[in-house]
Each structure stands twice: as structure tokens, then as C-alpha cells.
Amino acid sequence: MAQEPAPIVVGIDGSEDGLQAVRWAAREAALRGHALRIVHAFIWPMMNVPLGPSPVGPQEGGLRHEAEGFVGEAIALARSTAPDVAITGDIVTGSAVPTLVDESHHAELVVVGSRGLGGFSGLLVGSVGVGTAAHASCPVVIVRGVP
């Protein structure tokens, strides 16, 4: 029995550049015949750490709800872009770069957005893209937003 091809993984952060990465990754998954895995990495507030007030209860639930909204929006966009692609989404506890590097071990490709800041800064690639590309075990694509 043939093994399913590894998915294309796209990291999102709720930004417009992240959504551009989702569009690109969905199209690429359709072209290659791969599944698409949408990942939002998030460090939940640390409880019982004396760094000031920590969100608990409704605030913590609000952060989770916001993260779920990012993933839901990305899944809807991917489905509208590539309706025949198998799409999953997940919220992973952790920092973006280590999470995406871990995901790269089981991925065909990792896709992230680039923060276009305009001017000279707009020529630079974001730290998540650089860190992921430097340590991933598969190719990494950094998608620039629409100018």
C-alpha cells in the first residue's frame, strides 16, 4: 500500500501576510497533490509566574478563542482556494520557530508569510521565516504579501 505524501505545512499568525502564505500553500498543495496542514503556534500565558497579572478564566478563554479564529479563517480561505485539497488546522503550544521546525520533520514543505514593512525594512525577511529556514529539515517558502 502506498504511503500518503507528506503534507505541506503553513504557519499562520493571524496577519494578512500569513493569509497570503495560506493562499500560496493551498495552491501548491493542489498542484502537488498533497494535504495542507495549517499550524498556529502560541505561547499561552504562564500561570504562577510573578511577572505581573496573568490572564485566567475568561481572558485565557478569549486568547484561545482568538487563536481558533485565526485557524478557522485560514482553513476557510484554503478551502475556497483549493477545494479538492485535504486541509487540517491545529493550534500548537510553543514558539513559532521550534514548532515549525518540528513540523518540518514530517512535511514536504513549510510555508510562512513575510512581514512587509515598507522601505528598507520591507526588504528584510521576518525572524520566523529566517529561523525556520535555517533549521527546518525540508524546504521552506517565505511568501511576500501583495505590494
Q: What is the pLDDT of residue 118?
A: 41
Task: Tell me if 17 is assigned to some domain.
Answer: yes
Supply the DSSP symbol for 88. Answer: E
Residue 119 lies in a domain: yes
Q: What pLDDT, on a 0 to 100 scale, did the predictor assign at position 1?
A: 65
Residue type, 47: M
Yes or no: say if 125 and 140 are a contact pair by the CB < 8 Å rule. no
Domain span at residue 65 reads 8-47+55-143
pLDDT < 70 regions, the chain? 1, 45-61, 116-125, 146-147
Q: Which CATH number is 64's domain given?
A: 3.40.50.620
Residue 123 pLDDT: 47
In a domain, 88, yes or no: yes
Residue 134, in any domain of the structure: yes
Domain count, the chain: 1
Cβ–Cβ contacts within 10 Å for residue 129, how many?
26
What pLDDT is stored for residue 146 in this prediction?
Answer: 64
Residue 1: inside a domain: no
- Domain assignment present for residue 3? The answer is no
In a domain, 126, yes or no: yes
Dihedral (CA of 86, 7, 91, 19) sign = negative
Q: Look at residue 108 and tell me if it is in a domain.
A: yes
CA dist., res. 22 & res. 130, Å (int): 18
Classify strands 36-42 and 8-11 as parallel, antiparallel or unpaired.
parallel
Residue type, 145: G
